[in-house]
Amino acid sequence: MAPSAAYDVHPVDDVEAAYQLELRGFPASEASSRDTLVRRHQMAPHFCIGAYTRDSPVGRLVGFTSATASQGDTLTHAAMYTHDPEGTTVNLHSVCVDPDYQRRGIASLLLKELAQRLRALNQAPRSTWPPGMHKPYRCIRLIAHQPLFPLYQANGYTLIGRSSVEHGKYHYYIPYIKLNEFGISPPYRVNSVEVPWPSRWDSSTLHPVIN
């Protein structure tokens, strides 16, 4: 069965269930705290989309996204914990799927749904926009390790370059998807170095950037 037919996708109302998934999905050092997830959900509930099974009346949460908005092109560490309601860049902090449900297309479903919902919101009457939003969202971006590039590539993301955020032993890179015609204008700056806009995902073109 296609994932979209097998799961209900709608905003998350039970943040505790999302937190329990976060603990199961991420290594302890990378999992967001309960407080952080609750705060993000309070500040930007429209970025918190869940995939629910259809095997019970309310369904069980098996995957979710969590994000906040910021202004400007630079992805700072602070952006992970704050939400600027006027921000036009959506920083995706978590895409998390229950380990028992992985590789069934749920993350792809959520990534597509989030982009689709935000594009629809951009086009919707301003009177329906969340408090503080006064310009259309430009893009969704995140930081990811190289092994997960295929997930983002398959869902329409391109790569900006290497992130200045350091955490753990592997470098992070910045996949990005436009939500309106502006996006983030290349060249994008990483650690004050201009990075060429890559036309394809290729580690041989990435590594010169990081050295």
Ligand X SMILES: CC(C)(COP(=O)(O)OP(=O)(O)OC[C@H]1O[C@@H](n2cnc3c(N)ncnc32)[C@H](O)[C@@H]1OP(=O)(O)O)[C@@H](O)C(=O)NCCC(=O)NCCS
Q: What is the dihedral of CA 101, 105, 109, 110, to 10 degrees?
A: 50
**Sequence-ordered alpha helix ranges (H) in 124-175:** 149-154
Instruction: Work out which of 96, 159, 177, 190 binds ligand X, going by CB under 6 A.
Output: 96
Shortest CB 156 distance to ligand X, Å:
12
Total number of residues that touch ligand X (CB under 6 A): 19
Beta bridge partners of 190: 193
Instruction: Work out which of 15, 18, 19, 25 binds ligand X, going by CB under 6 A.
Output: 25
Q: What is the dihedral of CA 17, 22, 28, 33, to 10 degrees?
A: -70
Shortest CB 194 distance to ligand X, Å:
26
Shortest CB 142 distance to ligand X, Å:
6
Binding to ligand X by CB under 6 A, coded x per residue (else -) over 46-65, reads --------------------
Token pair belonging to 132: 């503080």
Which residue lies nearer to ligand X by CB, 21 or 184? 21
Beta bridge partners of 67: 92
Q: Interface with ligand X includes 151 (CB under 6 A)?
A: yes
Cβ burial of 201 (10 Å; 0-12, 13-18, 19+) is middle
Q: What is the dihedral of CA 18, 81, 133, 115, to 10 degrees?
A: -50
Distant-in-sequence, close-in-space partners of 18: CB < 8 Å, separation ≥ 6: 12, 37, 41, 48, 50, 61, 64, 66, 96
Instruction: Work out which of 57, 131, 147, 208 binds ligand X, going by CB under 6 A.
Output: 147
For residues 7 and 51, the answer to whether their CB atoms sit within 8 Å is yes
Token pair belonging to 188: 């994008």
Shortest CB 8 distance to ligand X, Å:
15
Identify residues 104-133 at the interface with ligand X (CB under 6 A): 104-108
Piece in contact with ligand X (CB under 6 A), picked from 39-47, 53-61, 113-121, 142-150? 142-150
Piece in contact with ligand X (CB under 6 A), picked from 11-19, 75-83, 148-156, 163-171? 148-156
Instruction: Work out which of 23, 121, 148, 165 binds ligand X, going by CB under 6 A.
Output: 148
Which residue lies nearer to ligand X by CB, 88 or 91? 91
Binding site for ligand X (CB under 6 A): 25-26, 94-97, 102-108, 144, 147-148, 150-151, 154
